[in-house]
Amino acid sequence: MVWCGMELCIRILVKHFSYRHPLFLTSSPTYLVPPITSIYGLFASILEIGKNDVKENRKLIKKEVQDKIKCIEIFLKERFKGRPFGIMRWNADKSKWRRNWFTPITQFYLFDLDLIVSINCDEDLGKELYEKIKNHESGFTPYLGSSENLIKDISLIDKDENDFSQYIKIKKLNSVTSLEKGKELIRIKMPSKYDDEGNWIFEDWVAIRN
């Protein structure tokens, strides 16, 4: 089977952001990059695809977005204008005594996310995303992952005409991924797709300095 796809390069700017590991309920690791599932969710929102039920919504995202993308790479701006800071959030738990009602959840926030998403996708999906982003036609919810991560701007760019020297490349780890001489590589395990039941699948990704 010959893949007849379309390449898109999308730049996303977010003023402040935080991506907590979804399986931790108390103090948890915080990703410095949006999980791939958050990006799929953004695309679904742009295309105005979605249901109220969480599991059913994930199944729909898998069918209409995830399964139509053959390859995805993300580029993260290496230097942020602001400094990272921590915010202690609180989770109410009324099943315990009053003095233990609140359990601390540590969640770190960063400023000025500058993210470029490069995808090779089904031609129909690519054309629809292209038109909606280019013409600002979609009434999508303007956040990436959760309502705390409000999008400042989203635009289409030409990958060949942009300087990626200040960006860190993040790609899926596989048997042919190797560390080039003089470049650092960090492994990140994050939710990168959904299974048929709408559950997260965690995979290893690597961050490589350009």
Which domains occur in the chain, in start order? 5-166 (3.30.70.2660)
Contact in structure between 147 and 110 (CB atoms under 8 Å): no
- If DSSP codes are grouped into helix, strand and coil, which group holds residue 132? helix
With beta carbons less than 8 A apart as the criterion, state whether 103 and 26 touch.
yes
**Cα 63 from Cα 122, distance rounded (Å):** 12
State the Cα–Cα distance between residues 61 and 43, nearest whole angstrom: 9
DSSP state of 150: B
pTM of full prediction above 0.85: no
Task: For residue 20, count CB atoms less than 10 angstroms from its CB and return exposed for 0-12, middle for 13-18, buried for 19 or more.
Answer: buried
Please list the pLDDT of the chain residue by residue as tens digits (210 residues): 444 579 999 999 988 887 877 776 665 667 878 899 999 999 999 998 887 888 899 999 999 999 999 999 999 887 544 444 344 444 444 444 444 444 455 566 777 889 999 999 999 999 999 999 988 766 666 888 887 788 989 999 998 888 888 888 888 887 555 555 546 567 788 899 999 999 999 998 888 876
Structure tokens given for 37: 């599932």
Tokens of 13: 């700017």
